[in-house]
Amino acid sequence: MEKSLILLVLIPFVSSFVSFAIGMINERFRNLFLFLVLCVEAYITYKFHRMIKYGGSVDVFINDVMGTGMVFKLDMFRYVFVLITVFAFFMATVYSFSYLTRYEHRNRYYLFFMLTFSGTIGMFISENIINMFTFFEILSLSIYLLIIHDEDEYSHEAGEIYLNMAIFGGLIQLLGIFILYAYTGTLLISEIGVAFKSLGAVRIVISLLIFVGYAVKASCFPLHVWLPKAHPAAPSPASAILSGVMLKCGIFGIIMIAKDFLSYETWFLNLLMVIGFLNMLVTGVLAMYQRNLKRIMAFSSMSQIGFILVGIAVFSASRDYGSYGVLLYIINHSIYKVLLFLCAGAIYMVVKDLSINNLQGFGNKRYLLYTVFLFGVLGLTAFPGFNGFLSKTLLYHALEAYVHQHGRLYNILIVMFEFGSMLTVAYSLKMFMTIFVFKPKKNQSDHVDKQINKRLYIPLALLAIAIAYEGTHPSMIMEFLKPAAKIMGGVADFNPHFYTAANIVHSAVIFLFGGLIYFFFINGSLRQTVGDEKVYVNPTVEWFSFEKALYQPLMHLMMQGIPAVIMKIDAYSSLWMALFFNWIHRISKLRFKTTTDREYSVAEALSKMDTWVNTVSGSIIIVLAATMLIYMFITV
């Protein structure tokens, strides 16, 4: 099984280049090859579950790699992330076979898509933090090439802001890793927590530096600005992976810091609490204003990440609801967000536009698309009977336990959590009602007769079934999560009752108020009459922008200003050094006469210095000079 763990990373890495070579000859053979590769990956993943489902682990150490060796580990906690990665990439790749038929550079797309797959798996199973960082950066670079796949002006702009933030986040993280090794002498994640106990405040500095890199990938506020630009730019299958998998890479790193490094120290959990609610509420509000379908989903992803961060933050107060709630939310968000982004891609194939003002009524009489999109929305909004209801309920009870432990003043946290859930309902209704309920506009009648490729519905249907099946069979997923929750620090035996009257009534209240926000604010205020038709407006384009006010000038300074200053310093330094050595050279050529009328140059005198130092007179003069200098310093 140790070799199989290596193959889990190696197979997609090698297959990315093999598929590129095959695709240059025959694209159908390439697609068949990739499908077989994904089947093998799924089979290996299944075999590992049979081996470690009772709490074991598989460990691999490879010498003479990266200087420190390569250390892989797979336990049930890591397996949760590996499983959602394999499942999401399988669905997105099968979808891509039909979606990319009219795209250029398809062969290049699959090359970097599989490299992203390999980098993601490698990161999740790395036990050495340098190995983890390496796979993390492979993932960053391959995702960049997926974002700019269309190679138009917008995609290059989105790719630039993403790459700049990814690189600077990675450099800050690497600095933290260097300091970590200098103080602890270890790079193994399982040993860092013990070493941290003997450190003082420096452990806070190390944790924050490493946290920045993961916070960028997890789109933590205010490091989130790359995501809403990257989603509309990337092809829809890549967007699905960005939201469904890559954001979880950041979450995985954040949990690692909280669990393995700091043993859930209060100061770090409080930081996650603040960031979590900012993500939940700020980006949830921004999602309501957006008019591009994928931008709505992008801001939604950031808002959902806020729920996960809050779940991690309240873990110390509720190790039962908290551990299961976080793990379940990670799984569920991946499933319904992959589904929704793939649905957006299916719509784009027909309309070639993602502005919901131009998608009004597109889903009328498209019953298959209506059904799968509805399942995705019901999962996202935590409607009873669907997977999102399970995870949202667990996190809500975990937050209740946190508030009970800290006092009534903290009830404001429950209010904010519920408001964040209402925002989710509101912007989800905006998407669904506009596309599937409203009547098409007159100028959009040409899209009515166009059909969606039926093969696209295969992965969409499988994802929709997974959402409904999990929501109606909670005991199955809870049993699966028991060993993972135990490794996370939770309890091994936990069997909550989801479909109680209180939980269902609470969900109904959330949907009622979310519907009111949609009806009175989104549909009543943001949908305005322009000319002869009603369209959505987005006043946030004139609001304060972190990207324009802070990140773009800062990155311009870092990428152009600082290198320019360094180049000038280097040029002037080189000039003065050249002048100095030229002066030394001229001085060395000067000649002088001694009392014996013998001529010496400075260079010749220096070459004779070692002989003179060894004489009695030379030694006395050096001692006297040294004594005078010491006396001068002492008296001063």
Contact 434, 356 (CB under 8 A): yes
pLDDT at 416: 92
Rounded to an integer, what distance in angstroms lies between the CA atom of residue 259 and that of residue 364?
48
pLDDT at 190: 85
Rounded to an integer, what distance in angstroms lies between the CA atom of residue 121 and that of residue 72?
10
Rounded to an integer, what distance in angstroms lies between the CA atom of residue 584 and that of residue 606?
13
Which of 490, 380, 459 has its CA nearest to residue 80?
490
Which of 377, 380, 312, 338 has its CA nearest to residue 86?
338
DSSP-based helix, strand, coil % in the chain, nearest 5: 75, 5, 20
Q: Is 574 exposed, middle or buried (0-12, 13-18, 19+ CB in 10 A)?
A: exposed
Rounded to an integer, what distance in angstroms lies between the CA atom of residue 119 and that of residue 135?
5
Rounded to an integer, what distance in angstroms lies between the CA atom of residue 220 and that of residue 189?
23
Other C-beta atoms closer than 10 Å to the C-beta of 367 total 10
Q: Tell me which DSSP letter residue 598 carries.
A: -
Look-up of token digits 């949760």? 80
pLDDT at 103: 75
Q: Tell me which DSSP letter residue 539 carries.
A: G
Length of the chain: 636
pLDDT at 558: 57
| 151-169: burial string, b at 16+ Cβ within 10 Å, e else | eeeebeebbbbbbbbbbbb
pLDDT at 61: 84
pLDDT at 340: 92
Q: Which residues pair with 601 in a beta bridge?
A: 591
pLDDT at 155: 81
pLDDT at 154: 81
Contact 201, 154 (CB under 8 A): no
Amino acid at 233: A
pLDDT at 588: 57
Q: Which residues pair with 208 in a beta bridge?
A: none
* DSSP sequence for 219-242: T-TTS-TTHHHHHHHS-HHHHHHI
pLDDT at 534: 81
Q: What is the CA radius of gyration of the chain?
A: 30
Ranges of residues in the chain whose predicted pLDDT is under 50: none
